Amino acid sequence: MARDKVFRVRLTQQEWDKLEKTAKVRGISSAEVLRDYIKRLPTSEIGDSDDISSFTDLRSI
């Protein structure tokens, strides 16, 4: 599937460093780290406790 959408976000230096460190440890790009987290987001409506934990996981980046 072609990637034709662009997402821009501002990060603090601490957030940036954490993202870059995660990417380096995993041997992938920072964009791929974010794509991996997006793939784990729920496809159902928000409200299930499992859905909430997925969003909590994103905060740990």
- Distance from C-alpha of 33 to C-alpha of 31, rounded to nearest angstrom: 5
The tens digit of pLDDT for each residue in 12-57 reads 999 999 999 999 999 999 999 999 999 999 887 666 655 566 666 6
What's residue 26's pLDDT?
A: 98
Q: How far apart are CA 34 and CA 61, in angstroms?
A: 9
Cβ(56)–Cβ(42) below 8 Å? no
Residue 38 φ/ψ, nearest 5 degrees: -60, -40
